């Protein structure tokens, strides 16, 4: 009998390979937060790598809603939604999000990852096809693989490519799934063109708008609304509560038939404990603030313009993006890590993003903006990044500390 491989040996080999490629990752402990500033390892840094786009994670009314609800309802829901875990706070949040985005119905889940798994597994089977943008979030790719449907991927933001892929599988049900805003590039999907391609092939359009809702469109209704589309065009959409809304969890919005089916059959929904009612109450408060306080989006847009204008003035080339995600391509992993380390030494925390999260050769600094950032912080970041770029321009990047 051939000996089985030893898993610990395999893991050690995989770790050694990641070390050789500069792809190891470590967690950093944040001990305190104050606006856009974070205390890390006893030192305060200005954070430019989170997704708190509207600055709601520490907003007084949101925190107060969490505390008040926890004092009444405790810290947990104690069960799944379909057993005894569905609380009035969950129902109120679903209704508010559905009303905000102008969809008939909503369904609350524990995370965006779970929501994407739920959608594809509950709606598609082995005879069906899921057509996706090549740069979609990992959760959408994993969802299609776990659903055992046929997965077809088209070149990034290429609606004609999507149409070709739909036509390549003429039988079975079809879904066209795309991010609304791409999390590593910051660009917006061509949703109108994709919707037309899907309509020609009788495919259901599903948009994961994790990074769009709260930020884009009228009243922050996201990339679908920004594109002039609605529930009739995009029957199913994902909203995460942990990005612009500053909390945790996710909400699917769709028509009655889709949401009812998901609530009764989606395994990640049926077999997961509902999020704490207090967290739902906090997210409800955040949604209401996001709907009414347009100044947060105005300030965010002004910050995006300021950062891009300053970057251009310093000769720093950012990827094209009108969203809070502003990537600066470094190329190699070593260079991205060296840039991130130098920025941290100067007091700025910007994450170095490396393969496999981004394509080979596409390691980058993923700069993200929040309504919490001030003009001086943005100017300071760009000034420092320019100096770092000049320092490494004609010399190989030094071996950095892994961050």
Residues known to be catalytic: 183, 211, 243
Residue 112 is assigned to a ligand binding site: yes
**90 annotated to a ligand binding site:** no
113 is in an annotated binding site: yes
Tell whether 240 is in a known binding site. yes
DSSP collapsed to 3 states, the chain: CCCCCCHHHHHHHHHHHHHHCCCCCCCCCEEEEECCEEEECCEEEEECCCCCCCCCCCCHHHHHHHHHHHHHHCCCCCCEHHHHHCCHHHHHHHHHHHHHHCCCEEEEECCHHHHHHHHHHHHCCCCCEEEEECCCCHHHHHHHHHHCCEEEEECCCCHHHHHHHHHHCCCCCEEEEEECECCCCCCECCHHHHHHHHHHCCCEEEEECCCCCCCCCHHHCCHHHHCCCCCCCCCEEEEECCCCCCCCCEEEEECHHHHHHHHHHCHHHHCCECCCHHHHHHHHHHHHHHHHCHHHHHHHHHHHHHHHHHHHHCCCCCCCCCCCEEEEEEECHHHHHHHHHHHHHCCEECEEECCCCCCCCCEEEEEECCCCCCHHHHHHHHHHHHHHHHHHCCCCCCCCCCC
- Which residues are known binding-site members for pyridoxal 5'-phosphate? 112-113, 183, 211, 240
- Which residues are known binding-site members? 25, 112-113, 137, 183, 211, 240, 357
- Which residues are known binding-site members for substrate? 25, 137, 357
């Amino acid at each position: 009998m051939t000996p089985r491989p030893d898993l610990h040996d395999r893991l050690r080999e995989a770790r050694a390979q990641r070390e050789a490629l500069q792809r190891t990752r470590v967690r950093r402990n944040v001990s305190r937060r104050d606006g856009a500033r974070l205390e890390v390892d006893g030192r305060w840094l200005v954070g430019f790598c989170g997704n708190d786009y509207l600055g709601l994670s520490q907003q007084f009314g949101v925190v107060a809603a969490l505390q008040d609800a926890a004092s009444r309802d405790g810290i947990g829901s104690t069960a799944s939604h379909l057993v005894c875990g569905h609380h009035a706070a969950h129902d109120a949040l679903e209704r508010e999000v559905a009303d905000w985005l102008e969809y008939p119905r909503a369904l609350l889940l524990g995370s965006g990852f779970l929501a994407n798994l739920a959608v594809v597994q509950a709606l598609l089977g082995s005879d069906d096809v899921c057509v996706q943008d090549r740069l979609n979030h990992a959760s959408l790719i994993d969802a299609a693989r776990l659903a055992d449907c046929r997965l077809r991927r088209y070149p990034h933001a290429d609606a004609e490519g999507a149409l070709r892929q739909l036509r390549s599988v003429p039988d079975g049900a079809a879904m066209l799934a795309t991010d609304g805003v791409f999390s590593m590039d910051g660009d917006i999907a061509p949703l109108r063109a994709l919707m037309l391609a899907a309509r020609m092939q009788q495919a259901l359009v599903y948009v994961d708008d994790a990074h769009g809702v709260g930020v884009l469109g009228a009243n922050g209704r996201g990339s679908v609304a920004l594109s002039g589309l609605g529930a009739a065009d995009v029957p199913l959409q994902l909203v995460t509560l942990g990005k612009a809304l500053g909390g945790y969890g996710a909400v699917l919005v769709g028509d009655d038939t889709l949401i009812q089916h998901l609530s009764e059959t989606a395994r990640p929904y049926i077999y997961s404990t509902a999020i704490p009612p207090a967290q739902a109450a906090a997210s409800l408060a955040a949604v209401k603030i996001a709907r009414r306080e347009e100044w947060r989006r105005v300030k965010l847009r002004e910050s995006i313009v300021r950062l891009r204008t300053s970057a251009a003035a310093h000769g720093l080339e950012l990827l094209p993006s009108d969203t809070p995600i502003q990537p600066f391509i470094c190329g190699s992993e070593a260079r991205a890590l060296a840039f991130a380390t130098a920025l941290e030494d100067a007091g700025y925390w910007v994450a170095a993003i490396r393969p496999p999260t981004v394509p080979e050769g596409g390691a980058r600094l993923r700069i993200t903006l929040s309504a919490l950032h001030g003009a001086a912080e943005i100017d300071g970041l760009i000034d420092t990044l320019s100096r770092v770029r000049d320092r490494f321009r004609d010399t190989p990047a030094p071996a950095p500390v892994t961050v």
